[in-house]
Amino acid sequence: MHRNVDQWCPEKSFLNSLRDVLQEALIPDSEVQKNVQEKLGYIQNMPDFTFYLLYVLGEPSFPDDIRSLSGILLKNNLLTTYPTLTREGASKLKQQCQYLLMDPSRDVRLSISNVIVSIARDNLKDWEEIIPFLIKAFTAQNEFSEIALITLFKICEDLITYQKSQEEIHGITKEVFPKFIDYLCKDDCRMHQDILRLTNQCLQDHFNIMKQSLDLGLYLRHVIRLADTDDAELQKYVCHTFTIFVDKQEESLLPHLHDVIMYLLNKSQHEDAEVALQACEFWLAITKVSTCKDILSAYINKLVPILLKNMRYSETELNIMRDYLGSDANTKDLAKDIAPFHGATHRNIEEDELSNEDNAANEDFDDFYMGWTLRKCSAASLDSIAVKFREDLLPIIVPYLSEMLNHNDYLVKESAILALGAIAEGCIIGLRNQLPDLIQFLQASMNDGHSVVRVITCWTLSRYASWIINVRPDSPNMYFIPIMILILKHFVDNNKRVQRAAISAFCIFQEEAQMKLIPYINIIVEGFLLGFERFHCRSLYLLYDAIGALAQSVGNHLNDPEYVSKLLPPLMQKFTQCDNYFDDHFIAVLECLANLIPSLELSFLPYAEVVFWHCLQLMHDTLISCLNFQEHPNEYDPPDKEPMSVAHDVLYSMALGLKGHFVKFVTNSSLPFVLYATIQDSSVIIRQTSIALYGELISLCYPYLSSNVNDYIPLIIRNLDEQNDGVCNNAAWVISKLCSVMGPSIQPYAPDIILRFINIVKDPAVARTMHQTAAIALCTTLFVCPDVNVPNLDVILKNCCILIRNVRDSDEKDLAFRGLCAMIVRCPDFNNKYFIFFCDAAASWFNIKPDLKDNIRNVMMSFQNDCRENSWAQFSGQFPSNLKARLHELYGV
């Protein structure tokens, strides 16, 4: 708009045309609507269309429905046109919006409210007067107060939804929320639910900001006053408030804690499951408080039976599961069952029931369509309470469990078995005398006629896996072998939920048993083969997970021709049957191979070529899709990068397992050039796996890569960013690899590398593993490039000594120690202040190469010679006795 907005007037002919189109738009006829869309597509490109809509919206001579429709079009139009408005035009628009918010027509007020919210979403900083204006209108308590409040609500919701800056959020919350809270105590307040909902959301997401913006004690008192209501929805928000306050450990809750707990005990039994669930969240939250046991001790006798009752399946849950309770093993999975959940974490469905941490992203394997339920929350709460109370919980809960486990109602029995599993972590020591009988009971329950009982029994047995496997190591036939075989048998249960529960439980057993599985690998593999024959899609996904868990548990003991000949053909058949690289089944097989290949080593070689080329093709296709999306985002969807990440993992596993035999695939392919692209990918996960694979190639075939290595080194250095632990750790590891093969040739990059490593080593917020990897890489770089100037070298070397002492013996540690020795000789300040840290690190070796041992001994002897005899005696006198003994044993000092 280029004309003076104050002098702007609509052209009558165009205004009439617009009015006619809007009038037609109200006619519910598809042909008419199609015609309207064509006309709107034409006229919306006319000059000043925005201001014509605004004019219609504000013209009282037009009917309210046309004015309201004009507001809807104006809101949508401003999404693209607002940035093109002149300053004067934007100012005029905002002034008119404020004026029209007081229009006599409620429909017009609602339309203009949406326009205001739309403008404020991205332009609130340039509209400083809107919040004070809305607050004034809201507090005036007249017919326009409601729309002002609604508009404020929507603006505040947008702040959270669109993740605005902390400063911007605080700027509004400190002005708005005190007014909201004042309104809560008004007798004529009609928005209790909305105010509590929004305030709770802000407290949950931005607690510290809200604590600065609001008197939380006052808010809590208002909420307590509202708690005595019959409105179930309002009760949910009241319960949520109490949960937030205890979760954030807000002190203003303390004076009201008894009343709040009594209220929530009552609401945890509410007939409305949603109210009961929201109340139950409080018990899970309070277990995070260090004084949880002291707080709950007075109420635990009332709480335990409530939680146990809530752990029974509800009628709603049973109705949802009705298609999965009988003999369904021979029926194909329903469409709703085949949902992506590859990359399972070896946890059974009921273990997921005990955690709401990542419920939205990775729902449990079978009940994913139920969401977070009262049953799950109650089980999770009991689990956490058991961890806090330990054996003190048993006198309270055991009488209930004894009755419930022998109840005639199978649903009561099932909930008792769930409870028995829930208390495993906290109470296993206190239960040790009862466990033989309980385990025998669970073994019998595995043959129960009701599938839900068999499902939960699988999980509960897995919760006691450690006791089952280790209680009688001299007599595995007592518990370990019978229960392992029992679970394996249920791989082919006639109910698919039981199958999946058995597989998941077996994964837990494998992870716990580790090398104790070796004598029984053949039995386990036979069980897996039955699964290949019987399983449908979801059960197959978990079978792949179980195969990977076996490989990780027994390592190369799986590398036996008999096992390989049984496992690989059906697995590779599933691999080659998939004609879509982005199919979840194909990805699940890839993940299985990534875990399996390092254990099989050269036994995988006959299958390596087809897997290699499939993975490389997948990576190529994904990169092309990424390029297409970048160049034509309106024509292509953003690609799914997870399959490419898994393909990197598989190739990395092949490099580990096949070692030198992998080189022929690399040298005859475009893999290095693909890695050049993926090391620069925007995805952290892709970069992490890509860098790891490149590092392994450096070890295997550096001569082949050396001609282009200078193109890759800057990319690796760029990823030495401590903000991304996994990426940074892998990049540091690759730098160590490069130093070992390049030697002094890496000198041009050494200053930048060393500076980044120093920043990582000095950062206390960095994970310990990354600290250690960075320290190893730093010392290795200093070994091959000793002439680089390092400020405060003595302090840096001290930190490196502290970190490296806890690293296992390895070639990387060997090279790093040589760097330490070389730099310590050149750093007199270190010798004067921190030499004891070098001695401590030197004592950490178990299998040390002779020449490095001589090197370390020479450093120590040099330090000892520089000291007078009494000074050395005084210095070594501060060593702990075990350190003295170790240094004498290794180095004779």
The confidence score (pLDDT) of residue 7 equals 63
Structure token digits, residue 148? 């002002």
Residue-range definition of the domain harbouring residue 65: 1-127
Note whether residue 3 is domain-resident: yes
Structure token digits, residue 626? 């990424």
Rounded to whole angstroms, the Cα distance separating 349 from 370 reads 12
Note whether residue 55 is domain-resident: yes
Count of domains in the chain? 1
Structure token digits, residue 453? 């009982």
Q: Which residues of the chain have pLDDT under 70?
A: 1-7, 163, 188, 328-369, 868-870
Note whether residue 39 is domain-resident: yes
Note whether residue 180 is domain-resident: no
Structure token digits, residue 41? 């597509």
The confidence score (pLDDT) of residue 750 equals 94
Rounded to whole angstroms, the Cα distance separating 19 from 457 reads 69
The DSSP output letter for 846 is S
In terms of phi and psi (left: phi > 0; alpha: psi -120 to 50; beta: otherwise), the region of 654 is: alpha
The confidence score (pLDDT) of residue 360 equals 29
Q: Are 178 and 215 in contact (CB under 8 A)?
A: yes
Kindly write down the DSSP assignment for every residue of 424-474, as one continuous string.
HHHHTTTTTTTHHHHHHHHHHHTT-SSHHHHHHHHHHHHHTHHHHHHS-TT
Note whether residue 290 is domain-resident: no
The confidence score (pLDDT) of residue 789 equals 85
CA 554 from chain centre, in angstroms, equals 28
Helix residue ranges per DSSP H, 287-336: 292-296, 300-310, 315-320
Taking Cα atoms as reference points, which of 724, 776, 725 lies closest to residue 753?
A: 776
> Could you tell me what percentage of the chain is helix, strand and coil, using 3-state DSSP and rounding each to the nearest 5?
75, 0, 25
CA angle centred on 117, ends 112 and 119, rounded to 5°: 95
- CB half-sphere exposure, 180, CA atoms < 13 A: 30
* pTM of structure: 0.81
Structure token digits, residue 185? 């105590």
| CA torsion through residues 672, 674, 679, 684, sign | negative
Note whether residue 367 is domain-resident: no
Note whether residue 100 is domain-resident: yes
The confidence score (pLDDT) of residue 347 equals 31
Burial tier of 217 (Cβ tally within 10 Å: 0-12, 13-18, 19+): middle
Note whether residue 318 is domain-resident: no
Structure token digits, residue 477? 């036939």
